[in-house]
Amino acid sequence: MWTIFSRDSSKDFPYEISESPSYGFNEKSLWKLNKGKKKNTTQEVSIFEFLINDDIPGGETRSALAKSAVKHLKTLKHPNILSFLESSEVKSIIYLSTEYVEPLQSFISSQNNLNTDIMKQYIAWGISNIIEGLKFLNFEAKLCHNKVNIWSVFVNKAGQWKLGELEYMNSVENSPPPYVSDLYRAPGHRQSPYSIDIWGLGVLIWEVFNGPLSNQSALKMSKKIPKEILTIYPKLIAVDPMNRPSYDILISMLREQGYFGNDLEKTMTSLSQYHILDDFQRAAFLDKLPSLLETFPKNIALYNVLPSLLEMFNYVKEQKVIFRSIIKLSAMLDDHEFEEKIVPCIIKLFESNDRATRLLLLSTIELYASRLKADLLNTNIFPLLVSGLADANPTIRELTVRSMVHISSKLNYNNLNVELMRHFARLQMKDDQGSIRTNTTVCLGKIAQHLDPKNRSKILSSAFSRALKDPFQPSRMAGVSAFSATQQYYPLIEVSTRVLPALCQVTLDPEKGVRDIAFQTIKGFLGKLENVSEDERLKEKMGRDYYVI
């Protein structure tokens, strides 16, 4: 008889019900909708549940409808139709598991204000989802849904609107089945593949803005429907099927009225059709995307935009442009998801020899550095990153220096105290860009706390003394300021024999700004020596302090 079920027992059914919300949908459908998950995982799903009772009047018809819905859902694959996962008939219950969704009616009723700009954009995009789903059904699958309304539409985690409730579906060549409720039965006879479902779309639009329909006469009350839709809405619900517009005419008119074509809808369309965009369209889309992301609902950004961008990242040449949006969205991910989805992109970009790509990574490093695991950073990323200190491009060298502030706390002993210090010494002595020499000194002062305490004072005093002899005035200024900022890291003997003699040399600096800050810094160091001279008990305490990280 029916062979649509892929499992015969609850033991084999790989999903389980975790919660049974009191959705209004459950009172309007043959099915009860539950929240569920895949067994032994955290994967969220929806589980539709139908109770078989052929002994009651109409019971056999209801069972046949439920099984028909499962059969259709299992065979129809489209982005705007509910995604089938598994089905099972266990004793007197049919279980149907799908992607995780929420009834549209529940989602809409939970929104505080449908008139905000982003909600207007979102609803317009949702309506366009359903139009695309209906076009597929009516013209490609040659099927008519016959029950399009707010109770047959669901919202997934990515915010997409999905068609469900397929139990009344039949061929476009046949009349709607007689058991479709009078409330949602389209007036007149089928005159075209779309004439029934386009009327249902009109009902859906009315219900989105007014709530569930109670009688068909209410469809004429269009006060709450956006003005951009009103020019076409009366034709959607026309009594005469011949007066109802085609989907293409509907889309064209909604675009003319400015209802379609908003930023959200255009972004979603560009993502889904990225492979057919020309180079100019791709560039325009990707350049604008980062600024739009903040305005999008979080669920759309996280579960729709980000997965699409990650998929595109693997096969398109515009990886560095895509990365700007990816790294912005990555803030929404937990640490495990970040490591799984974002870190491979970062490593892949660091492996690139393209300078524009490296500049992008360096200019955004503060957005991802704190989330990189130390082992991965030291082994996979640091060797690639530190090569930028020897790059021929001054901007890359300077940004690489600055980037060390964000990663120094996670570097291992050799990478921080040996490899990086070797590069910093070379930059201070040989780089032809004064700003790079200056920023190397500034950076060293900022990361001093992470250096090995046993070697820290020697590393710092040597580097900052070197900066004091630089012909570039800002570099000398940076050297003096760095000594001042790191006073706690020098043993008293080093203060008296190395630090103060070096600082005294710049008290005669040709630039008064350097001289002024040098005198202030010298006073600070002398103050420490004076305090110890007055109270030798402080000597032991200060000796301990400079070893503290």
Residues 335-361, buried b or exposed e (16+ Cβ, 10 A)? Answer: eeebeebbbebbeebbeeeeeebbbbb
Same domain (yes/no): 395, 476 = yes
Which residues span the domain enclosing 177? 103-263
> Does residue 518 form part of some domain?
no
- CATH (domain of 17): 3.30.200.20
pLDDT digits (tens, 9 = 90+) for 275-326: 899 989 998 999 999 999 988 988 999 999 999 999 999 888 888 899 999 9
Task: Examine residue 526 and state whether it is found in any structural domain, yes or no.
Answer: no
Nearest Cα to 482, choosing from 449, 508, 454, 453? 449
pLDDT of residue 349: 95
- Tell me if 537 is assigned to some domain: no
User: Do 339 and 245 reside in the same domain of the chain?
Assistant: no
* pLDDT for the residue numbered 59: 86
Does 499 map to a domain?
no
DSSP structure class, residue 37? E
Within a domain: 530: no
Q: How sure is the predictor about 6, in pLDDT bands with cuts at 50, 70 and 90?
A: very low
pLDDT band for position 7 (50/70/90)?
A: very low
Q: Where does a domain end: 221, 248, 263?
A: 263
Residues 6+ apart with CB under 8 A from 545: 488
Q: How far is it, in rounded angstroms, from Cα 542 to Cα 385?
A: 37
Which among 476, 491, 506 is the end of a domain?
491
Domain identity same for 21 and 137: no
Collapsing DSSP to helix, strand or coil, 68 comes out as helix
- Burial class of residue 48, CB neighbours in 10 A (0-12, 13-18, 19+): buried
CB 151 within 8 A of CB 212: yes
| CATH number for the domain harbouring residue 379 | 1.25.10.10
Q: Which of 263, 281, 316 is the last residue of a domain?
A: 263
CATH number at residue 128: 1.10.510.10
Whether the predicted pLDDT of 522 surpasses 60:
yes
State the pairing for strand pair 101-103/170-171.
unpaired
According to DSSP, the residues that pair with 49 across neighbouring strands are 32, 95
| C-alpha count within 13 angstroms, C-beta hemisphere, residue 447 | 26
One domain, residues 153 and 240: yes
Is residue 535 a part of any domain in this protein? Answer: no
Both 456 and 425 in one domain: the answer is: yes
Task: Indicate if 121 and 76 belong to the same structural domain.
Answer: no
Q: Residue range 241-266: average pLDDT?
A: 95
When divided into structural domains, the chain yields a total of: 3
Looking at residue 3, what is its pLDDT?
45
Average pLDDT score over the chain: 92
**Same structural domain for residues 173 and 212?**
yes
Residue 280 in any domain: the answer is no
Query: Are 35 and 119 found together in one domain?
Result: no
Between the alpha carbon of residue 59 and those of residues 54, 65, 90, 166, 400, the distances in Å are 4, 10, 17, 18, 72
pLDDT-based confidence at residue 341 (cuts at 50, 70, 90): very high
Domain match, 64 and 110 both: no
User: pLDDT by residue (tens digit) across 461-515?
Assistant: 999 999 999 999 999 999 999 999 999 999 989 999 999 999 999 999 999 999 9
- Do 334 and 471 fall into the same domain? yes
What does the alpha-carbon distance between residue 97 and residue 174 come to, in Å, rounded to a whole number? Answer: 29
Question: Where does the pLDDT of residue 11 fall: very low under 50, low under 70, confident under 90, or very high at 90 and above?
Answer: low
Distance CA 541, CA 140 (A): 83
Indicate the pLDDT class of residue 542, thresholds 50, 70 and 90. Answer: low
What is the mean predicted confidence (pLDDT) over 224-238?
A: 95
Question: Is 366 inside any structural domain?
Answer: yes
Residues 430, 314: one domain?
yes
Residues 44 and 86 in one domain: yes
Instruction: Please state the φ and ψ torsions of residue 173, each to the nearest 5 degrees.
Output: -85, -10
